[in-house]
Amino acid sequence: MSQVFSEETHRNLLSRIPECTGRAISDWLRTVEEGPSLFNFEEKVSWLRGEHNLAYGHAKAIIHEYDLRRAARKLL
pLDDT at 5: 77
Q: Classify each residue of 1-29 as buried b or exposed e, where b means 16 or more C-beta atoms within 10 Å of its C-beta.
A: eeebeeeeebeebbeebeeebeeebeebb
Chain centroid to Cα 24, Å, comes to 12
Residue 1 has pLDDT above 60, yes or no: no
Q: How far apart are CA 38 and CA 44, in angstroms?
A: 6
Q: What is the pTM of this model?
A: 0.89
pLDDT band (50, 70, 90) for residue 4? low
Residue 41 has pLDDT above 60, yes or no: yes
pLDDT at 2: 53
Residue 73 has pLDDT above 60, yes or no: yes
* Cβ atoms 1, 42 nearer than 8 A: no
